[in-house]
Amino acid sequence: MTARRNDTDRPVFARIWMAAGPRLDREGFVEWRRRLLHGLSGRVLEIGAGHGLNFSHYGADVTEVVAVEPERHLRRMAEAAADSAPVPVTVRAGSAEDVPCAAGSMDAAVCSLVLCSVRDQRAALLEIHRVLKPGGELRFLEHVRAGNPAGALVQRALDATIWPLLVGGCHTSRATTDAIAAGGFEVASATHFRFPTTAVPLPTSPHVLGAARRVT
Ligand SMILES: C[S@@+](CC[C@H](N)C(=O)[O-])C[C@H]1O[C@@H](n2cnc3c(N)ncnc32)[C@H](O)[C@@H]1O
């Protein structure tokens, strides 16, 4: 099969995420996914959908999910998950920086555990802004920069060295809510929480669940 535009091939990361994602969900992350998607309606763009762990949680008011996933193995699994989703899901090759959707065509966009990994967060947010209708909603569930200086220092050191290489391009120290606010969105809510709640926090423990509106 010839590679499509925007294809990436990260079979090792794909395999790790196919095991780790469902395990995190079983440990309680699934509740945050449900809150992320609660109340959405109309056409929804999901960026970096992985193998489709969100699909089964979309509600009946969603008329279509367009799920963009650049990694070939995960995308193939997402296509299988789309078949049993409760709402119509179309899986497409593409990236956050180059979304295969028309301007102003989406009512909402969803990012879960993906703005940590995109190559260029600013470009990704510009693309999401482009494809959303005016007033459209961006829902996000992301691990983010630690609130305490020592934690943020450790995160920055990891990001500058081994972490992105080991974890599929992931960065632990991104101030994602600030980037969303700077990207033409009005942040309506941002709930900070730790997951998992281990005694010693992991570099990826600080999370945010939020919603923002596209402003012009
Ligand atoms: C940790 S997984 C999360 C998958 C899914 N969003 C979830 O919540 O289960 C990170 C995902 O981001 C995707 N990704 C990485 N870089 C991306 C980019 N530039 N544009 C879109 N997706 C990207 C990866 O292929 C992977 O599917």
**Segments in the chain forming alpha helices (H):** 11-24, 30-37, 72-83, 121-131, 149-159, 163-166, 176-182
The pLDDT score that the predictor gives to residue 1 is 41
Per-residue burial over 137-158, b = 16 or more CB atoms within 10 Å of its CB, e = otherwise: bbbbbbbbbbeeeebbebbeeb
Distance 14 CA to ligand 1 centre (A): 10
Tens-place pLDDT, residues 87-98: 999 999 999 999
Q: Distance between CA 45 and CA 215 in Å, rounded?
A: 17
Separation CA 47–CA 132 (nearest Å): 12
Contact between residue 87 and residue 63 where contact means Cβ atoms under 8 Å apart: yes
CB under 6 Å to ligand 1: residues? 17, 21, 47-50, 53-54, 69-71, 74, 95-97, 112-114, 117-119, 169
Asked if 203 contacts 141 with a C-beta cutoff of 8 angstroms, the reply is: no
Tell me how far the alpha carbon of residue 66 lies from the centroid of ligand 1, in angstroms. 14
* Residue whose C-alpha is closest to residue 145's, from 115, 111, 189: 115
pLDDT in tens, 25-70: 999 999 999 999 999 999 999 999 999 999 999 999 999 999 999 9
Domain boundaries defined on the chain:
11-214
CA nearest to 55, candidates 32, 76, 79: 79
The whole-number pLDDT of residue 51 equals 98
- For the stretch 57-68, what's the b/e string if a residue is b when 16 or more beta carbons lie within 10 angstroms of its beta carbon? bbeeebebbbbb
DSSP code at position 26: I
Tell how far the Cα of 151 is from the centroid of ligand 1, in angstroms: 24
Query: Which of 117, 138, 139 has most ligand 1 atoms within 8 Å of CB, for mutation?
Result: 117
pLDDT tens, position by position, 166-189:
999 999 999 999 999 999 999 999
The whole-chain average pLDDT of the chain stands at 96
The CATH architecture to which 11-214 belongs is 3-Layer(aba) Sandwich (3.40)
Is pLDDT of 5 > 80? no
Q: Is 196 helix (H, G, I), strand (E, B) or coil?
A: coil
CA dihedral (124, 130, 133, 135) positive or negative: positive
Q: What is the mean pLDDT of residues 136-154?
A: 97
pLDDT level of residue 7 (50, 70, 90 thresholds): confident
Using an 8 Å Cβ cutoff, are 47 and 128 in contact? yes
Residue 77 burial by CB count (10 A; 0-12/13-18/19+): exposed, middle or buried? buried
What is residue 4's predicted lDDT score, i.e. its pLDDT?
A: 55
2: confidence class by pLDDT, cuts 50, 70, 90? very low
